Amino acid sequence: MGQEKIVGKPVLRKEGVAKVCGMAQYIDDLTLPGMLYGATVRSSIARGRILGIEFGEGIPWDEFVIVTATDIPGENEIALINHDWPCLAAEFVNHPEEPILLLAHPDRHLLAKAVAAVRVRYEEWPAVFSIEESERRDAVVWGEDNVFKTFLMEKGDVDAVWSQADRIVEGEYATGAQEHLYIENNGAIAAYSADEGLTVWGSLQCPFYVHKSLVKMTGLPEEKVRIVQVETGGAFGGKEDYPSMIGGHAALLAMKSGMPVKVVYDRAEDMAATTKRHPSRVRHRTALTRDGKLLGAEIEIALDGGAYSTLSSTVLSRATIHAGGPYYWPNIRVRSKAFATNYPPHGAFRGFGAPQSLFAIERHMDHIAEALGIAPDELRRRNLLKPGQTTTTGQVIQEDIDLDHLMGRALAESDYHAKRERFARENAGAGMKKKGIGLAAFLHGSGFTGSGERYLNSLAAMDVTAEGKARVLVSSTEFGQGTNTILCQIAAETLGIDYDAVEMGPPDTNVVPNSGPTVASRTSMVVGKLVHSAAVGLKKTLMASGLLREGYSTGEFVTAARTYVAQHGTLRSESRYEAPPGVHWDDQQYRGEAYAAYAWAVYVAEVTVDLATFAVVVDDFVAVQEVGRVLNPVLAIGQIEGGVAQGIGWALYEKVVWDGGRMQNNQMTNYIIPTSQDIPPIRVFFEERPFGHGAYGAKGIGELPMDGPAPAILNAIAHATGKQFDSVPLLPEDMFRTMAVREPEREAVAL
C-alpha cells in the first residue's frame, strides 16, 4: 500500500470546525438585501386538466409577484434525460403536489395565507397508483403504454437450461418507497440582473445539473447562469434532481421581480413534494442442479417511476445490471421496465436501483437454500464469482477478488455458525422471543454505468492561491460524506505537502470545471484520480520552473507556488477523464464492462423477534466489505454505519403511506426512522485490495452499505420465525397478518 503520510489516515474534516462551532452557513441562514420569500401553489389532485385559477379575497394581490408557466422565458422543463417533467404545470397535472403557480412577497406569514387563498379548478381524470394498474393500462398516463424505459439483458442460452435443471425455484419480492429525510430541507436563493445574469445558491449535489436545467428554462446564455452550492445538510440522492426544480422556481420569481428570492420548504412540503426511492417488484425463476449450482435464471424487474421519467431509466439500468448479485450465472435473462404512475416522480436515492434488485436476489438465495436443504452460506459459496469468470453483462472479472474469504471473515466475526445452531435450539422452546441470524452477499458498481463516464468527459483542476496554497477545483460537492476531506488528502499526498496547505475551491460553476455529478459512488475513485493527475501536473510545472527541488518541504512548496503566481499570474493544472483500458460497453446489446470496478461485501444481521408484539430488534450487525483502498478510515466507517442505519430503516420502519397519490405521513412524527436506540452495534471491517485505476487504489464506498442490510435482516427474521417475508418495509402489522395465516410451504419443483 505504500508509505503514504496522509492518505489512509483519519485527518480532520475540512469543514468540520465550521459545522461543529455553528459557523457554517446553510441556505436558510443567508439573507440578501431586499430579498423576497417564495412559495409554491401545488396540485390537490393526482391527474387532470387545469380549468382555471382563482385568487381569493382578503389578500393584497398587487403586492405579490405571481409566476405561472406563461412567464417561463425558455423551455418549461427540468432538463434531465427526457423532456417530460415541467417546471410548472401549464394545462395538465399528473400528480398531487405538482407545482402550478409561484408567489413571492417580503412577508413570509402573509405568503402562507396567500398560498392557501389560491383556488385551482380542475377536470379530474382517472389516475394510476400501482405498478400493476400501470402494467394493465387501466389508464394511460404517460406515452402510449405507461412505460418509461425497458431493458433486456441476456447471457447464454436461458431457454435451454430448464430441461437440464434438477430444481426450479420461483419467487416474487417487493420494496416500498423511501423518503430521504436529510437533515436540511430543500432550499434555494436566486438573484438576477440584466448585466450580471442569474445566480442561484442552493442546497444541492450537482451544480452543473442545475446549471444545464436553468440555461434551458431561462433562455439565458451559459455564461449568464451561475450556480453555487452552499453548505448542504445531507442529500442521499434527494438533492441530485430536485434542486433544478426549486432553483428554477426561485430563478423565475427573481427574474420577474428583479429582487432576490429565497424558496425554502418546510419539512411537510419537502416530504410530500420531492422525489423518493422507486418502489419495486422483482420476480425470479431459477434453474439449479440438485447440489445448488446456478444454471440459469429469468428475472423480471418492475419499478414505479411516478408521474415523470426523471432518472428512472438510469435507476432501472443499475437495478438490471445488479440483479444477479455477486454470483456466476452461465445463463441469465433480465427483463426490466420502469412504469408511470400518478405519484410524485421517484428519483435518485443512495444505491440507485441496486438495493431493490439485490434485496430480491438475496432473499431468493435463502429461498433456494431452504428448498434444496443447503445451508444459506454454503449455497452462496458454491456460486460466488471468481476472477476470470463473467458477470451478468459478460464482463470478465479482472480484479483480484476473493469473495470466499470475504464471506469467511463475515461469518467468523459474527460467530454465524455457532449462533445459527444455538438460536435454532433455543427457538424450539416456549418463549415468545425468537432469535435469528441472516446474511447477504452483494456488489456495487463504482462510477457511471457503461459508457457513462466517457459521456461525462469529466474535468478536474488544481491551482494555487496568491498565498501559495494548493487548491482543488472540482464540481464534486460536500454534503456530509467527506468529499472535501478525501480530495484534499489525495492532493496533499500527491504534492508531498501538509494537509493544511491544501484547500477546496468554491463549488461555483463560474470557478470550477465540470468534474461530473456527486453521485454513483464515483467521487473518490473517478474524481479523486483526476485530482491526483492534476496535482502531478502542478508539481511538474513547479519543478520544471526551477522554483522547486526534490525533497522540498511544505514551506518551500508554498514559497515556490507564491513566487510562480507572482511571476506568471496563475498556476493551474487540469486533468480530463480517460477510461481504463479494456472498458467497453455496448448500449444496444447491454453487454460489456458495466463498471470499471465493483465494491464487494458480505453483511450479517442478528435479530430478536417478539411474537407478542411482532416487533423486531436488530441486536448485532457485522459489515465486511472490500472497497479498494480506504482513504480515511473514520470517514469510511461513518459511511458504512450510516448506510447500514438507513438500510435498517428501509427494512423495518420507513413506510410511506399513500392516499390518492399523496404522502399522508409527511411528518417526522409519523414517518418513522430508526433512532440511536434502534441501531445495534455496527461492526465494520474492511478488506483492502487497491484498484489500479482509482486514486491511491480507491473504489466506490458511499452506496454499497445501503444494499445489504434489508435482505440480511429479513433472512434473519425468517430464521427466527420459520416464516418467509418477501417485502420491505416489514412492519409489526405485516408480520402479524402473515403469521396469523397458515402459509403453504414453498417447494422447489423437482424435474
Q: C-alpha distances in angstroms, 536 versus 461, 471, 492, 573?
A: 11, 13, 11, 8
- Look at residue 748 in the predicted model and tell me its pLDDT: 55
pLDDT for the residue numbered 751? 52
Between strands 332-339 and 147-155, the pairing is antiparallel
Burial 274-287 (b: 16+ CB within 10 A, else e): bbbbbbbbbbbbbb
Query: C-alpha cell of 577?
Result: 477523464
Whether domain 31-125+186-264 has CATH 3.90.1170.50: the reply is: yes
C-alpha torsion 550→556→561→566, nearest 10: -130
Please state, in angstroms and as integers, the Cα–Cα distance from residue 537 to each residue in 467, 541, 544, 710, following that order.
19, 6, 10, 45
Q: What mean pLDDT comes out for the span 475-490?
A: 97
Q: In whole angstroms, give the CA distance from residue 330 to residue 332.
A: 7
pLDDT of residue 738: 87
- Residue 740: which pLDDT band, with cuts at 50, 70 and 90? confident
Fold of 280-449+588-750: Aldehyde Oxidoreductase; domain 4 (3.30.365)
Is residue 388 over pLDDT 50? yes
Q: What is the pLDDT of residues 361-383, one digit of tens each?
A: 999 999 999 999 999 999 999 99
Query: Nearest-5° angle of CA 651, CA 652, CA 655?
Result: 90
Helical H segments across 373-518, by residue range: 376-381, 403-414, 416-427, 452-456, 483-495
pLDDT at 24: 97
Tens-place pLDDT, residues 514-543: 999 999 999 999 999 999 999 999 999 999
Tens-place pLDDT, residues 603-654: 999 999 999 999 999 999 999 999 999 999 999 999 999 999 999 999 999 9
Query: For 289-343, what is each residue's pLDDT tens digit?
Result: 999 999 999 999 999 999 999 999 999 999 999 999 999 999 999 999 999 999 9
**What does the H/E/C string look like for 258-276?**
CCCEEEECCHHHHHHHCCC
Mean pLDDT of the 251-264 span: 98
Rounded Cα distance, 423 and 426, in Å: 5
Q: What DSSP designation does 526 have?
A: I
Percent of the chain past pLDDT 90, that is, above it, reads 95
Q: Which helix (H) or strand (E) holds 288?
A: strand 280-288
Q: Where does 16-24+458-576 sit in CATH, by number?
A: 3.30.365.10
**CB-hemisphere CA count at 13 Å for 111?**
21
List pLDDT tens digits, range 642-680.
999 999 999 999 999 999 999 999 999 999 999 999 999
List all residues 6 or more positions away from 394 whose beta carbon is below 8 Å from its beta carbon. 155, 591, 592
**Per-residue pLDDT reduced to its tens digit, 567-604:** 999 999 999 999 888 889 998 889 999 999 999 999 99
Contact 300, 336 (CB under 8 A): yes
**In the chain, domain spans:** 16-24+458-576, 31-125+186-264, 280-449+588-750
Asked if pLDDT for residue 421 goes beyond 80, the answer is: yes
pLDDT at 36 over 90: yes
Which cell is 701 given?
464506498
Task: Give the mean pLDDT of 483-503.
Answer: 98
* Residues 250 and 26: beta-carbon distance below 8 Å: no
**Beta pairing partners, 710:** none
pLDDT value at residue 1: 44
In percent, how much of the chain has pLDDT > 70? Answer: 98
At residue 430, the pLDDT reads 85
* DSSP 8-state class, residue 722: S
How confident is residue 2, by pLDDT bands cut at 50, 70 and 90? low
